[in-house]
Amino acid sequence: MAYPLSRYVFGAILTLWLREVRGKEHIPQGKPFIVCPNHSSYLDDVIVPLIISKATNKKVHNYVNRNYFKIPILGTLLLRWGGSIPVEVGEAPDKQAVNAKAFETALHHLSRGGVVGVFPEGHRSRDGELQKAKWGAARLALASKVPVLPIGITGASEALPKGKKFPKLKRCISVSIGKPLELKKYSGMQDDTKILAAATREIMHAVAALAGKKYMH
């Protein structure tokens, strides 16, 4: 009961910033998929899972910087309420082990019909433009053989840009959801770096089109 209640409470609060959502009809029903949005604000971490969970009645297991799990209360919310997956985005000595565990956890959720969220860029953009994406989302898609749902977010960096602690009370965020990407032509080739790069570019070009941006990497 706590999760659905929290979902609706946060959803009501987010209407303060969310202007519109387009393409909800593209959200897959009754099967696993990977959500891949662009990332320029902390608000992305909340808005996208709420939209997807409301449409599917499932949690979105987001990849989240493991440092946030160390913060009292927030860490508990991320794990118990959000079902988030800790990842290492820096250069810690145990990075490989932490991220290997995250990958296996994500595969487990997908194998059980779940939804996993990955920001391909890894970090929030400072200027709202698309950064060079990492290969994690593509590798997960190729290994799990599930579709990728590209999402473009605009206005989030205007409401709460990187470096700011408090958002402006302004309904300026728009979310565009694209058609799921089937990357079956790359299936089983998640260890081929050229294939991972190609699949990542395919994902990011779809995200870029939805966000009204260009992906130049």
Number of domains in the chain: 1
Residue 107 CA to residue 113 CA, distance in Å, equals 10
Six-digit token string for 85: 């997956």
| Position 145 in a domain | yes
pLDDT in tens, 185-200: 887 788 899 999 999 9
CB 47 within 8 A of CB 175: yes
| Position 112 in a domain | yes
Give the relative orientation of helices 2-14 and 42-56 as an angle to the nearest 10 degrees: 120
| Position 216 in a domain | no
Residue 51 CA to residue 90 CA, distance in Å, equals 29
Residue 217 CA to residue 210 CA, distance in Å, equals 17
Mean pLDDT for the chain?
Answer: 87
- CA-based nearest residue to 36, from 179, 196, 198, 190: 179
* Amino acid, single-letter form, for residue 23: G
Residue 110 CA to residue 117 CA, distance in Å, equals 11
CATH number of the structural domain spanning residue 205: 3.40.1130.10
> The domain containing residue 152 runs over which residues?
2-211
Burial class (CB in 10 A: 0-12, 13-18, 19+), 82: buried
pLDDT at residue 1, rounded to an integer: 38
| Position 194 in a domain | yes
Six-digit token string for 46: 């909340």
pLDDT in tens, 13-67: 677 888 999 999 999 999 999 999 999 988 888 889 889 988 999 999 999 888 7
Strands (E), 24-161: 33-37, 60-65, 85-87, 115-117, 148-154
pLDDT in tens, 85-130: 989 888 888 999 999 999 999 999 999 999 999 999 998 898 889 9
| Position 26 in a domain | yes
pLDDT at 148 over 70: yes
Q: pTM value?
A: 0.90
| Position 217 in a domain | no
| Position 147 in a domain | yes
Q: Which residues contact 178 (CB under 8 A, 6 or more apart)?
A: 23, 26, 149, 150, 151, 152, 206, 207, 209, 210
- CA-based nearest residue to 60, from 90, 91, 28, 92: 28
| Position 198 in a domain | yes
- CA-based nearest residue to 203, from 36, 26, 44: 36
pLDDT at 154 over 80: yes
HSE-up (13 A, CA, CB side) for residue 165: 0
pLDDT at residue 71, rounded to an integer: 73
